[in-house]
Structure 1
Amino acid sequence: MPGTGEKSPSAAATPSRRTVLAGSAALGAAGLATTLPPAASAAPGAGRPVTGDPFTLGVASGEPDSQGVVLWTRLAPSPLAEDGLGGMPGGAVDVEWEIALDERFRRVVRRGVERTGPEEGYAVHVEVAGLRPGWEYFYRFRSGRHVSPAGRTRTTPLPGVLGAGLTMCFASCSQFEHGYFTAYSHLAADEPDLVLHLGDYLYEYKPQVYVSPDGNVRDHAGPETETLANYRQRYAQYRTDADLRAAHAAAPWLVVPDDHEVDNNWAGDVHEKPEIPQPDFLQRRANAFRAYYENMPLRRRSRPRGSTIQLYRTVAWGSLANFHMLDTRQYRDDQACDDGWKVCEDSADPARTLTGDEQETWLLRQFRRSRARWDVLGQQVFFARRVNASGANSMDAWDGYKGSQERVTEGWLDAGVRNPVVLTGDVHTHWANELKANYADPDSPVVGAELVTTSITSGGNGADSDPAQDPNLARNPHIKFRNNQRGYVRTRITRDALRADFRVVQRVTEPGSPVSTRASFVIADRHRGLTEVSPSP
């Protein structure tokens, strides 16, 4: 470890992530052999030697704090194996890991060995501690003679430290069949400090069930995901995409699932089509949660217990920002009025909940305790009030749970939260919304902002639109922007402002499509409203 007098490397001296990601494979076993001890001999109970590269699914990191981070990989020399075990030969395997201050791993600060096996789906979770606050690190793994690509990660600043700012990107809804994950590669090239994924990381359907308007460009492997083997295989297939692997390797991630990680529009104990009996739904949910944990860089506290998983939590970035990551599926009441877009009196029932009572109480307590400059909700479904041409609301969004919507809004107002910002996925479209104390009153004050990311691929290519001609904005004057192209949102968070760039790719049905910024908005400290500014490159 560096001494206490060592200074954090400046941006000018820090190699770009593109250099790291392009060069990590070239370092190979020769680079690793200079720092790690010789590969450990097979431990008692270990399986047969692994043949073929086991690191086809890449590496990831997540859940950073000021002292450490989670490192992740999963061994799968044959990712699409139907048993979900990635072609591993069986038995336990020891996987070595190391984390360094430099991309060539000449200054290694931590190393160790983790054992994995079929019970874990050959996933590896390493909770590294004892690192320096606000620091950049590089990590990799070895199994036998095989060395993983390198990833780049970082720790958060110490509590009480505002720091120089944070570049954070967030994304949602990546349907493998609908297009190529080019947006993920552009996200990686933006070199974020942190990535939030807000759900629908994968889709559960069997091939050619969910067809994009532009046609599907590739097929899912296997049937609709129901068994543990199905879900493991589907995660492995998604991770074979090089652009997704690049995004994971570029920065630590914070993740929350939405519906498709289990079943479309599920709610609590209710599956998508309750009129069709599915007596094993809770077992399916348990399978889905187990595979989700195995394939995400989550801490052990999120290890599922049967059909439940602990996912709501707050991750602090010094005193600059609190990221309150929400679970809006597991504890919600069933959608009112049989789901869909409805004019539905039941949606206003204050007893109905999207978050569940326990999570809501926790969130309101987090608001009261917060001393952060920015309080950011990382969550899944549309938060602002939104009506369609028939005057209906979406029963799957916060509008279908107006009591929850109002209590959370009142909670940050009562707590005096300085800058509340809601981040959202799910709807496959970019939106920028001002949040109101009373949506029925045009003169009601703006009490927060919502930034909604479009999909990575879901829905196909989409199309550009003119906000001035968009009837959604005319019906909902608190909505300031909407765009139906594919991409993600890039933010820059400082003590003075949060800037959001709505990034779009031209097409997802062709690989390598260029990216541009369709619109940019700024939320000034203590202002809460949205100001449109000239788009960034």
Structure 2
Amino acid sequence: MSIQAALSRRALLQAAALLPALAGCAPSAARISQSVFTLGVASGDPAPDGVVLWTRLCVDPLGPTGYGLPPGPLLVHWEVAHDQEFRRLAAHGMASAAPERAYAVHVEVQGLEPLREYFYRFRLGSEYSPVGRTKTLPEAAADVGWLRFAFVSCSDYQAGFFNAYRHLAEEELDFILHLGDYIYEYGPEGNGPRRHNGPEVVTLDDYRRRYALYRADPDLQAAHAAAAWIAVPDDHEVENNYAAQWAEERLSSEAPVTPADFLRRRAAAYQAYYENMPLRRSSLPRGSQMQLYRRFGFGRLARFSMLDTRQYRSDQPCGDGFQPPAHCPARAAENGTLTGPEQERWLLEGLANSPARWNVTGQQVMLAQFLWPLPGGAALNLDGWDGYAAGRSRLLGFLQERRPSNPVILTGDIHSAWVHDVLADFDRPESAVLATELVTTSLSAEFPEAALDAVALSLSHNPHTRYFHGAERGYARCEVTRESWRTDFRVVNTVLSHASQVRTHASFVIEDGQPGARLA
């Protein structure tokens, strides 16, 4: 059977399977006279033989319901092609967009060729979506020599425009990593050029409207359409500094929130996150639980282990916040964990058995110890790995004993760019360098201006920190070969207007077999 015939037969079988659920779809689609692809398109979770395609139908993103669509499921056609004109189709089919999933479409395309560029689009009735570009991963055993990707985090709509996303879309990347804080849950606040659409989000409808606000941004849409995304959330997709079933407010007289109350909110937030991201069915939430840690291989060149440091963590010690080390002995508790035991085993086993030249951990909060200069003296951030010293010690001990090839940690969260030597013992600056941590600045969220000089002056007390820059927003772009890893910290000159330029503020290089980064 020819490939084209096989594809046509597959499409017919898919259509037949969908017909019972899609009765009445075509008349509903015919009655829609406005654009339904207002939230753009996306691809994600790439594999050697396929990728997830995403769109979410929505006529009025900022309306009271965020949909503007008739009730009932709608039939959506999708196409993947070798060319932007869609003359050479590689795959096509149909999918259902149902109101119980906010009319989101997730298509897990299979049968594609490894390490190939493809183009995709959707159609409802006679209307076509924008065209997206994506790329499959190489086969697991492929001896690939070059990789180009970027990582980003902390896109706060209220803090500024998403100019960095627009520049990111022009980088011609193999894929993009998003390390969390894709949305912010807060109500309207701050002095930025834009405002959130409503109070702090709590319910499923609240979260759906907030995602619609962000997804309607043209610069964010351009970044999604430019490359496949691999995304993991942090805290603001649910609530600032949440930990497992514990809300930030905990149990206070002002805002009592029980664990049961908070898990209901977390379930709503996780469902909205799934609905709005190009994730596989394996990440479909089950109530307040969601499978988010997962692994991606780029041939034998690089392996990426993406972590979830919120869902399974123990509560922050000593009431969260910043504390001098001597004031919080609980941070060293053996049962304190950011990852949970199961995910920790998964991470260490993956590192131990990896055949890759570069072993990358994508995660949310800063791994390296850092003594922050506060008025009361040097303090640690207990929401990061500094609050979970025993878990970090287990990871560092593993790296020192097992020596996986070229470990690199990628981090977001902190609204500033950093480069750290990851030491065997941060209290002994002369101890061995085991890995490199690269931290991207925020895409738009602010770093406190008043803290910039103080942090810069404190670098002498943190000799493992090679670089800090918190004054500008942007992303980190990486070029990886067998011999070296280069990271360019890309920044925009403003997020307060739509117009901006992008430049490289600093570049660092890691050499194969030599942990630690040097200024390029």
Q: Answer yes or no: same fold by TM over 0.5.
A: yes
CA distance in 2, matches of 1:82, 1:377: 40
Residue 70 of structure 1: aligned partner? 52
- Distance in 1, matches of 2:449 and 2:361, equals 27
Structure 2 Cα separation of the partners of residues 162 and 346 of structure 1: 46
Aligned to 1:489, the other structure's residue is in SS state strand
* Structure 1 residues 306-455: aligned runs within 5 Å: 306-343=287-324, 344-389=328-373, 390-455=377-442
User: 2:11 — aligned with what?
Assistant: none
Kindly report which structure 2 residues correspond to 1:168-187, keeping only aligned pairs within 5 A, or say none: 168-187=149-168
1:482 maps onto 2:482 in alignment: no
Matched residue, 2:122 = 141
**Structure 1 pair 402–2 and aligned structure 2 pair: CA distance change class (3 A):** farther
Q: Distance in 1 between matches of 2:38 and 2:187?
A: 23
CA distance in 2, matches of 1:281, 1:380: 21
Match of residue 523, structure 1, among 491, 510, 516: 510
SS in 1 for 2:397: helix
Alpha-carbon shift at residue 43 of structure 1 (Å): 4.1
Say if 1:433 and 1:451, in contact at 8 Å, map to a contact too. yes
Q: Which amino acid aligns with 2:195?
A: D
Tell me if 1:496 matches 2:483.
yes
| Residue 48 (structure 1) aligns with | 28
Partner of 1:512: 499
Seen in structure 2, the aligned counterparts of structure 1 residues 367 and 273 have a Cα distance that, compared at 3 Å, is: same
Pairing of 1:462-477 with structure 2 (within 5 A): 470-477=456-463
Give me the whole-angstrom Cα distance separating, in 2, the residues matched to 1:337 and 1:330: 19
The residue identity in structure 2 corresponding to 1:263 is E
SS of the residue corresponding to residue 413 of structure 2 reads coil
1:82 maps to amino acid: P
3-state SS of 2:86 partner: coil
SS at 1:306 equivalent: coil
Aligned AA (1:165): W
Q: Is the 8 A contact 2:415 2:447 kept in 1?
A: no
Query: How far, CA to CA, are the matches of 2:391 and 2:383 in structure 1?
Result: 13
RMSD, aligned α-carbons: 2.1
Query: Counterparts of 1:452 and 1:282 in 2: how far apart (Å)?
Result: 30
Structure 2 runs not aligned, ≥5 long = 4-14
* Cα offset, 1:355, TM superposition: 0.5
Aligned to 1:26: none
Distance 1:316 1:145 in 2: 38
Displacement, 1:461? 9.8
Question: Once the 2 structures are TM-superposed, how far is the Cα of residue 411 of structure 1 from its aligned partner?
Answer: 2.3
**Distance in 1 (alpha carbons) for counterparts of 2:22 and 2:340:** 45
Q: Does 1:155 align with 2:136?
A: yes
Task: Please give the per-residue CA displacement for 1:138-182, whole angstroms capped at 9, x wherever unaligned.
Answer: 000001111111010011111121313111100000110110000
Q: Deviations over 1:447-468 (max 9, x none)?
A: 000000111111179699799x
Contact 1:374/1:418 (CA < 8 Å) preserved in 2? Answer: yes
**Paired letter, 2:80:** I
Deviation at 1:493, TM superposition (A): 1.0
Which residue of the partner structure matches residue 7 of structure 2? none
| Farther off after superposition, 155-164 or 264-273 | 155-164
The reply on whether 1:82 has 2:64 as its aligned counterpart is: yes
- Closer, same or farther in 2 for the Cα pair 1:90/1:489, shift >3 Å? same
Q: Which residue of 2 aligns with 1:225?
A: 201
What is the alpha-carbon distance in structure 2 between the residues aligned to residue 253 and residue 278 of structure 1?
34
- Distance, in Å, in 2 between the alignment partners of 1:132 and 1:2 is 16
CA distance in 2, matches of 1:464, 1:138: 44
Matched to 2:419, the amino acid is A
Separation in structure 1 between the aligned mates of residue 451 and residue 94 of structure 2, nearest angstrom: 49
Q: Normalized against structure 2, the TM-score is what? A: 0.91
Deviation at 1:81, TM superposition (A): 2.4
- Aligned 8 A contact 1:172 1:198 in 2: yes
Name the SS of the counterpart of 2:80 in structure 1: strand
Q: Report the residue type matching 1:488 in the other structure.
A: Y
User: 1:57: which partner in 2?
Assistant: 39
Equivalents in 2 of 1:162, 1:331: separation in Å? Answer: 35
Name 2:229's counterpart in structure 1.
253
Take 2:450 and 2:153, find their aligned partners in 1: how far apart are those partners? Answer: 18
Q: Which moved more, 1:294-303 or 1:153-162?
A: 153-162
Q: CA deviation at 1:117?
A: 1.0
Give 1:105's aligned residue: 86
Matches of 1:199 and 1:307, distance apart in 2 = 18
Distance 1:368 1:58, change over 3 A: same
In 1: Cα distance, 2:69 partner to 2:401 partner? 54
Cα offsets for 1:70-95 (capped at 9, x unmatched) = 000000111112224x2112111010
What secondary structure is seen at the aligned counterpart in 2 of 1:510? Answer: coil
Secondary structure, in 3 states, of the residue corresponding to 2:304?
A: strand
Q: Provide closer, same or farther for how the CA distance between residues 2 and 173 of structure 1 changes in structure 2, counting only shifts above 3 A.
A: farther
Letter in 2 for 1:170: F
CA distance in 2, matches of 1:174, 1:518: 19
- Provide the secondary structure at the position in 2 that maps to 1:48: helix
CA distance in 2 between counterparts of 1:413 and 1:67 reads 35
Q: Check 1:350–1:460 CA distance in 2 against 1; reply closer, same or farther (3 A cut).
A: closer
Q: How many residues align?
A: 491
> 2-side partners of 1:411 and 1:298: how far apart?
31
2:9 maps to what in 1? Answer: none
Other structure's SS at 1:528 match = strand
Matched residues, percent identical?
A: 49
- For residues 336-386 of structure 1, the C-alpha deviation after alignment (integer angstroms, 9 at most, x for no partner) is 110111021110112211100111011111111101011111100010011
Secondary structure, counterpart of 1:474 in structure 2: helix
The answer as to whether partners of 1:48 and 1:89 remain within 8 angstroms in 2 is yes
State how far apart, in whole Å, the 2-side matches of 1:466 and 1:288 are.
Answer: 36
Cα distance, 1:395 vs structure 2: 0.4
Shift in alpha-carbon separation, 1:91–1:438, aligned structure 2, 3 A: same
**What is the distance in 1 between the residues matched to 2:62 and 2:107?**
25
**2:239 equivalent in structure 1:** 263
1:165 and 2:146 are equivalent in the alignment: yes
In the alignment, the residues of structure 1 paired with residue 149 and residue 443 of structure 2 have an alpha-carbon distance, to the nearest angstrom, of: 16
Q: 2: distance between equivalents of 1:102 and 1:464?
A: 49
- Does structure 2 conserve the Cα–Cα contact (< 8 Å) formed by 1:328 and 1:355? yes
**Equivalent of residue 96 in structure 1, options 77, 83, 99:** 77
Please tell me whether the aligned partners of residues 400 and 424 of structure 2 are also in contact (alpha carbons under 8 angstroms): no
Provide the C-alpha distance between the structure 2 equivalents of 1:2 and 1:293, rounded to a whole number of angstroms: 36
Give the Cα–Cα distance (whole angstroms) in 1 for the partners of residues 425 and 36 of structure 2: 54
